[in-house]
Chains A and B, each alone.
Chain A
Amino acid sequence: MSRLRKDPRAERQERQVAAAGRRPRIDVGHREAKAASGRLRRDPWREWSASLVGESRRKRYDRSQRQMEHGNSARLTRARARDGVEATEISPGQPAVRVIDEPAFLVFAVITAAGGRLSRLDRQLLGAARLLADAGDGGGAAVAITAAFDPVTAKDLARSLGEAGADRVLSVPGDIHPSGTAAALRHHVEAFAPRHMLFAEDGDSADLARRLAVSLNEPLFAGVEHLTPRSAVRALRNGTREVALAPPLLMTLGEDRMKPYESGPCEARPLDIEVGPFGGDPAILSVEIIPGDPASLALSETDFVVSAGNGVSDFAAFGDLAAVLKATPGASRVVCDAGLMPRAAQVGASGTVLAADCYLALGISGAPQHLQGIAGCEHVIAVNTDLHAAMIERAGLAIVQDAQLVMPALVKLLAERQA
């Protein structure tokens, strides 16, 4: 907005006529009022239309600051300018970065960030750390600890860590085995004396948490199911009883227990600390990582599924595609009933309910029984000849095209990119 904001009180003051009596007198004819504050006037109409999401008939607004950041200027200028007000850019909408300069205490969250990307559980851990850091009077800082962080190359990671709620980032040596990482973590705990420390109850993080608990001789509150600033709850005795106490130092958190952090980005400032080289366990002679083969993975374990439905007739091409995409093959019930794919590959209510991140559906109509199986998939891609198929509606990327043509094109393009 270009007009300045009015300040009615200042204007009134301006018009006041000095008089002897007790009653204030105002000169109504006085016109040269100048605004006392230099602030610009808000245009709520424009802000609303800038936060409009999508172009469906039913209006949806996203008023979070994140949307303002991503809401590109194209959308802002497209917002209808009202009569008499010339169209100008509203402020770039960069949400203010939340800075905590002198943290009163620290909350550590040990995250994996495999491949430099935050997983769901990583975000949830940072959300929990944020919750504990803002507890009571607040003023605490959430510190993300990760082996994947390299301050020089990991600009993207730093940004996503900030958006996920990390005030500080600490790196631990990217040791290939947890025994070395545990020593580095212990060093950090002694140097910074955090109030709480959160781990994932999963894989190496769970292992690390226990190594640290034993080496610090601290109790471990494993598998927290419910966490508030006042209390942490975990199940015990086969899930028949639970125990609640004030959040202790060491906790591990299961998946989907805490909400990720969602308001404005935090700073994610790297903390510099000298860590000497930590020799791993002398008993460990060699370590070698063997990457998983998606084709041999069970559907319930994999992260990416390519699935064939009744619209696929060329199963040789489908098999090739799954192999080059490094995805686990799946199928709809019709295909399994016809014996074209093994029963173990069936996705859906009477097959496997997936926990994968991404689902590529080729020639699948999207029957409710099938959609139930992919309810948890974050990214869905559909290729179907029918524009009105339910799968097209469900998908994040929908392509109306013959699957028999798309499959060889994909294989060809992948071969080109890998060459």
Chain B
Amino acid sequence: MKTIVLLSDARNPVSGRQQLSRLEAQAIGLAAGLCEKPRGLHAGSGEDGVSAGLGHGLAGLDIIDLPATDDPLPALAGFIAKAMGGAGAPELILCGRRGEGGEETGLVPYRLAETLGLPILADAVAIRAGEIAGTLVVDQAMAKGARRRVTIKLPAIVTVHSLAPPPMPFAFGRMRRGEIRHHEPLERLGLPDTAARSDASAEERPHRARPKLMRQSGTASGGPNLHVGPEPDEAARLILDYLEANGIRRYGSS
């Protein structure tokens, strides 16, 4: 199945240089397991960061040249809509969770899905083709190691979770061989940018680190709860009752 990986304009937190975001590198790894020639798509200026994706397993890269200040969404939506109309339409679009170095709201995949009318699934850790043609089985990460296995009809947009398998190793030769195509932004699709009409009271300033709350610990059940030399069976009962009373696990029912 033809797969596109969306690559964002990620910045190194220290140097501010363009780089490939780790989550997108993981997305490339997932895409390579599904599709022989996954392609990357990036809208923005410069190819320094995203071209590393070729070294991590992309077969080719499409870059829509845009000034760095422009909203990439309409150009991306226009490009994908055109590709889906033609032959060899992409079926799966993989993305990271949120940008690194920009607004970082994580809304781009959702707005893209809305614009293109595609279903979206978040937090994928594993992906494989479904038994029926044109379907995809996605494992979504949930709390406490649980997974949700969703079968979805293609085409679809899927965002990747950081617990997905690590990216494939970087190969310089593969990056050199990879083919980069530059495109002009053609038609622009999409909703008006909601960020633009955000509050006038918004004020951007240098970040101030704020400590998180301390995790309170101690005896939640009240006073000291000390038992000296109980019978082992009694001790076991005390421990299980404590676990169940505090809602850690329930053993009776299951």
The closest CB in chain A to the CB of B241 belongs to: A397
Q: Which residues of B contact A244 (CB under 8 A)?
A: 202-203, 205
Q: Among the listed stretches A84-92, A96-104, A280-288, which one makes contact with chain B, having 4 or more residues with CB under 8 Å of it?
A: A280-288
Task: Tell yes or no: A53 within 8 A of B by CB.
Answer: yes
- Pairwise interchain contact B228-A381, C-beta atoms closer than 8 A: no
- Pairwise interchain contact A177-B150, C-beta atoms closer than 8 A: yes
- Pairwise interchain contact A55-B223, C-beta atoms closer than 8 A: yes
Task: Tell yes or no: B186 within 8 A of A by CB.
Answer: no
Whole-angstrom distance from the CB of B96 to the nearest CB of chain A? 13
Q: Which residues of A contact B149 (CB under 8 A)?
A: 287-290
Within 8 A of B (CB), among A357-381: 357-358, 360, 374-381
Within 8 A of B (CB), among A232-257: 233, 235-246, 248, 255-257
Task: Tell yes or no: B219 within 8 A of A by CB.
Answer: yes
Within 8 A of B (CB), among A77-133: 114-115, 117, 120, 124
* A392, B219: Cα distance in complex, Å: 11
Query: Can you show 25 pairs from A to B with CB atoms below 8 A apart?
Result: A177-B148, A203-B141, A213-B110, A213-B194, A220-B105, A222-B98, A237-B104, A242-B204, A242-B206, A246-B199, A257-B212, A285-B152, A289-B149, A290-B139, A290-B146, A292-B145, A326-B249, A358-B246, A378-B215, A383-B239, A400-B226, A400-B229, A402-B232, A406-B235, A409-B235
Within 8 A of A (CB), among B183-214: 191-192, 194-195, 197-199, 201-208, 210, 212-213
Best-buried of B100, B106, B201 by chain A (most CB within 10 Å): B106
Contact of A292 among B113, B144, B195, B218 (CB under 8 A): B144
- Pairwise interchain contact A237-B102, C-beta atoms closer than 8 A: yes
* A246, B203: Cα distance in complex, Å: 10
Task: Tell yes or no: B220 within 8 A of A by CB.
Answer: yes
- Pairwise interchain contact A401-B230, C-beta atoms closer than 8 A: yes
* A137, B191: Cα distance in complex, Å: 37
Whole-angstrom distance from the CB of A53 to the nearest CB of chain B? 7
- Pairwise interchain contact B240-A239, C-beta atoms closer than 8 A: no
Q: Which residues of A contact B152 (CB under 8 A)?
A: 283-285
- Pairwise interchain contact B225-A398, C-beta atoms closer than 8 A: yes
Known: A238-B101, A377-B217, A410-B240. A220 touches B107 (CB 8 A): yes
- Pairwise interchain contact B206-A248, C-beta atoms closer than 8 A: no
Task: Tell yes or no: B151 within 8 A of A by CB.
Answer: yes
Whole-angstrom distance from the CB of B217 to the nearest CB of chain A? 6
- Pairwise interchain contact B194-A418, C-beta atoms closer than 8 A: no
Q: Which residues of A contact B98 (CB under 8 A)?
A: 222
* A287, B152: Cα distance in complex, Å: 9
Q: Which residues of B contact A376 (CB under 8 A)?
A: 215, 217
Whole-angstrom distance from the CB of A257 to the nearest CB of chain B? 7
Q: Which residues of B contact A202 (CB under 8 A)?
A: 143
Known: A215-B114, A238-B100. A243 touches B148 (CB 8 A): no
Given contacts A242-B207, A287-B151, A290-B147, 17 further A-B contacts (CB under 8 A): A203-B141, A214-B191, A225-B210, A226-B210, A237-B101, A242-B208, A245-B203, A248-B199, A285-B130, A290-B149, A357-B246, A381-B243, A396-B220, A396-B225, A399-B235, A412-B233, A414-B251
- Pairwise interchain contact A397-B242, C-beta atoms closer than 8 A: yes
* A299, B173: Cα distance in complex, Å: 38
Task: Tell yes or no: B169 within 8 A of A by CB.
Answer: no
Known: A256-B213, A383-B235, A399-B227. A243 touches B204 (CB 8 A): yes
Whole-angstrom distance from the CB of A163 to the nearest CB of chain B? 14
- Pairwise interchain contact A248-B220, C-beta atoms closer than 8 A: no
Task: Tell yes or no: A69 within 8 A of B by CB.
Answer: no
Contact of B194 among A217, A284, A302, A326 (CB under 8 A): A217
* A178, B152: Cα distance in complex, Å: 14
Contact residue range for chain B? 35 or more
Q: In the A-B complex, list the 8 residue pairs whose CB atoms are closest, starting with the nearest.
A: A292-B145, A283-B119, A409-B232, A256-B212, A376-B215, A238-B13, A409-B236, A405-B232
The closest CB in chain B to the CB of A408 belongs to: B232
* A213, B194: Cα distance in complex, Å: 9
- Pairwise interchain contact B220-A379, C-beta atoms closer than 8 A: yes
Q: Chain B interface (Cβ within 8 Å of chain A)?
A: 11-13, 98, 100-107, 110-111, 113-114, 118-120, 122-123, 130, 135, 139, 141-153, 156, 191-192, 194-195, 197-199, 201-208, 210, 212-213, 215-230, 232-233, 235-240, 242-243, 246-249, 251-252, 254
Task: Tell yes or no: A43 within 8 A of B by CB.
Answer: no
Contact of B206 among A179, A215, A240 (CB under 8 A): A240
The closest CB in chain A to the CB of B206 belongs to: A241
Known: A257-B212, A377-B217, A378-B215. A413 touches B204 (CB 8 A): no
- Pairwise interchain contact A219-B195, C-beta atoms closer than 8 A: yes
The closest CB in chain B to the CB of A257 belongs to: B212
Classify the secondary structure of A's interface with B. Answer: mixed
Task: Tell yes or no: A207 within 8 A of B by CB.
Answer: yes
Number of contacts between A and B (CB, 8 Å)? Answer: 268
- Pairwise interchain contact A297-B145, C-beta atoms closer than 8 A: yes
- Pairwise interchain contact A392-B226, C-beta atoms closer than 8 A: yes
* A214, B191: Cα distance in complex, Å: 9
Within 8 A of B (CB), among A150-171: none
The closest CB in chain B to the CB of A280 belongs to: B119
* A210, B109: Cα distance in complex, Å: 9
Contact of A245 among B113, B142, B199, B247 (CB under 8 A): B199
Contact of A378 among B111, B202, B207, B216 (CB under 8 A): B216
The closest CB in chain A to the CB of B109 belongs to: A210
Q: Which residues of B contact A289 (CB under 8 A)?
A: 142, 146-149
- Pairwise interchain contact B153-A283, C-beta atoms closer than 8 A: yes
Known: A214-B111, A259-B213, A289-B146. A246 touches B201 (CB 8 A): yes
* A375, B216: Cα distance in complex, Å: 9
- Pairwise interchain contact B110-A211, C-beta atoms closer than 8 A: yes
Q: Which residues of B contact A410 (CB under 8 A)?
A: 236, 239-240
Whole-angstrom distance from the CB of B148 to the nearest CB of chain A? 5
- Pairwise interchain contact A210-B107, C-beta atoms closer than 8 A: yes
Q: Which residues of B contact A283 (CB under 8 A)?
A: 118-119, 152-153, 156
* A218, B195: Cα distance in complex, Å: 8
Known: A179-B119, A281-B119, A397-B239. A219 touches B197 (CB 8 A): yes
- Pairwise interchain contact A400-B221, C-beta atoms closer than 8 A: no
